[in-house]
Structure 1
Amino acid sequence: MELEVRHLRALCAIAETGSLHKAARQLGVTQPSLTAQLRRIERALDGELFLRDRTGCRPTPFGREVLGRARPLLDGMASLLAEARAAAGGPRLRVGSTASRALPGWLRRLRRRLPDTETSLLVDVSANALLRMVAAGRLDVAFVHEVEGSPLRIPPGLDVRVLVEREPQFVSLARDHPAARHEVVDLADLAGDRWMVDPSVDGEWAGLRRVLAAAGLDPPYLHADYHTAAALIVTGDAVAPCQPTSGPREDMAIRPLRGDPLAVRLLLAQPPGADPAVYADLLAAYREAALTSAGYRSWLVRVGSPLLGVA
């Protein structure tokens, strides 16, 4: 077996995320296939690259040596491809983002303002991965969220602007959940519920556990992506944190939490000297999404958010 670029990319993804599950999500493959690929690579190199246990994956000394050679090769390949594409065609804007209701409006504004620019979008659950891609030249801009209490690892050299200093996270629950009768939900009202969380979202599981522990709660957790979670929430099998911009559903209630104990910070990262109007486009799109959500709009009014006055 000869090592290819995709094999090096897989090794770096495992090392960067510290998890086969997270790396598989980032690479768009299944965890069993990534595990099998790692075993083939280790056989080809005749050495163990990662120590695997319940807490995740850590490079062995041999693995660190291989990764030290792999990363510069991948960065060089990314730079070569970016330069070749720039020379072959017109202007391009490669956008990366964690999931957000502001994305459609943002892309619409970018394409309207930059009609001759080819604009692409990459959505990833890992904010840290997106930031690394901007630093490596594989993305031109990244819109990410940082879970309160779990700082992101921001690579040096990036220009990072704060879009929203503290965005509250609401809770999604079944429409017939007793707590759904209230406009604002106390964490104590959810003491008997299972909480669903996606552990591949950077900082989210740690942040949720920290907040629930501070409230004296130690609930059971379900691990799944948030698309899968919807089916569990509507049947009353789980509750889950959600973005305040989440749209209404007939079978699901979305409510703010009293005191806003869960929150994220929204950031935009670009290389130095990049187009500053990208930030203004995003801010306008985010405000549009925020005011479209009745629950979030009410919250913004209640706290006197400056977003209400953004033109």
Structure 2
Amino acid sequence: MDLELRHLKTIRAIADAGSLTRAATALGLAQPALSAQLKRIERALGGTLFERGRDGVRATALGDLVLDRARVVLPAVCELQEEAVRFAREGAAGHRLGGTHGPLLGGLVDRLARAGQGAPVTTYTSWSEREIAGGVAAGRLDFALVGVCGESSPPEAGRLAWTEVARDPVHVMLAVGHPLASRSEVDLADLAAEAWTDVPGDGCFGDCFAAACVRSGFTPVCVYETDTASCVHLVQVGRAVGLCRATFPATPGLVTRPLAGTPLIWRHLLGWHPEGRAARHAPDVLAHARAAHADAMARSAARLPAPATP
């Protein structure tokens, strides 16, 4: 059997996990299948790579040698693949955008399509900011349009160039009949008895929200993490109150209000690879993203029902 990259990835996964059971879970394999694969790899390399014990596995001297080489080879091959993808894209027209949910991505697509005079604009969406950033780092996407909580670092901060598009206070969504819907802003402490709903993500927003609640003297009763349409429905029927960005479009049956004292901030960011073809287009794309944000804010403010005097 010839040694392949996938075998090196398997060896590294076992070493990182510290046990065959955890490594099998991480790799999506049954443990017997992983054990059989490891035996084949060890036969190909001429010796035992891991010593099995009650507490897991530990690399042998041969295992350490192979792992040292794997830690050099695997990143090098990954970098080669990413550079090749970026190189192949150098002559391509149009833009490939990755983004999370929200009106900002749609606004940016519209503006780029109008400005591009027929050049294609393609999109990829995900709840995961890390997945979007990884796509840009790997050359599969040109730009990432994502958000982060407060001053936290964006994903792939060491590999991508990131610029702030805008920052917004986080708002609360309330049913139009909610007792607090008439206020111009809502104190977080006044929502202590409410259930909450929010869209998923892999950043620190959930932890920051929980910390803001603790500072206001309560722990959330429950948080329903679901898609945007379900969040809207739960708010409309009075099952929960929601968290949203300031650019959230006005929607029948609910209103959005800023939280008093701005306990939570959302930063919209645009990212690209500094050595990719996107870098030379970044200033134009950034300008369009900021204009799209301004448009979204204007539409949101214009369509929201005015609060009544308390």
TM-score norm. by structure 1 comes to: 0.69
Conserved in 1, the CA contact under 8 Å of 2:173 and 2:241? yes
Which of these residues, 107, 110, 128, is aligned with residue 130 of structure 2? Answer: 128
Task: Map 1:250-289 to 2 at 5 A.
Answer: 250-272=252-274, 273-275=279-281, 276-289=283-296
Deviations 1:46-90 (A, max 9, x none): 39xxxxxxxxxxxx989xx7x967776666555555555667xx4
Task: Specify the alignment match of 1:151 in structure 2.
Answer: 153
Q: Which has the larger radius of gyration?
A: 2
Paired residue secondary structure (1:167): strand
Give the CA deviation at 1:36: 9.2
Counterpart residue number, 1:102: 104
Q: Which residue of 2 aligns with 1:21?
A: none
The SS at the match of 1:286 is helix
Change beyond 3 A, Cα 1:222–1:85: same
User: How many Å separate the matches in 2 of 1:4 and 1:248?
Assistant: 51
Aligned-residue RMSD, C-alpha: 3.6
2:209 paired with 1:208:
yes
- Partner residue of 1:237 out of 221, 236, 239: 239
Looking at structure 1, the residues matched to 152 and 224 of structure 2 have their Cα atoms a distance apart, in angstroms, of 19
The structural deviation recorded for 1:293 is 0.9
Please report the TM-score for the alignment, with normalisation by the length of structure 2: 0.69
Does 1:293 pair with 2:296?
A: no
Identity of aligned residues (%): 27
How far apart are the structure 2 equivalents of 1:292 and 1:254? 13
1: CA distance, partners of 2:100 / 2:206:
16
Displacement of 1:103: 2.0
Aligned partner of 2:21 in structure 1 is none
Q: State the partner residue of 1:183.
A: 184
Going from structure 1 to structure 2, the CA distance change for 1:39 and 1:142 (only over 3 Å counts) comes to: closer
1:45 and 2:47 are equivalent in the alignment: no
Closer, same or farther in 2 for the Cα pair 1:136/1:236, shift >3 Å? same
The letter for the 2-side match of 1:46 is S
1:143, distance to aligned residue in structure 2 (A) = 1.3
**Gaps (5+ residues) in structure 1?**
16-34, 48-59, 300-311
Count of residues in Structure 1 that have an aligned counterpart in Structure 2: 256
Quote how far apart the aligned CAs of 1:149 are.
5.3
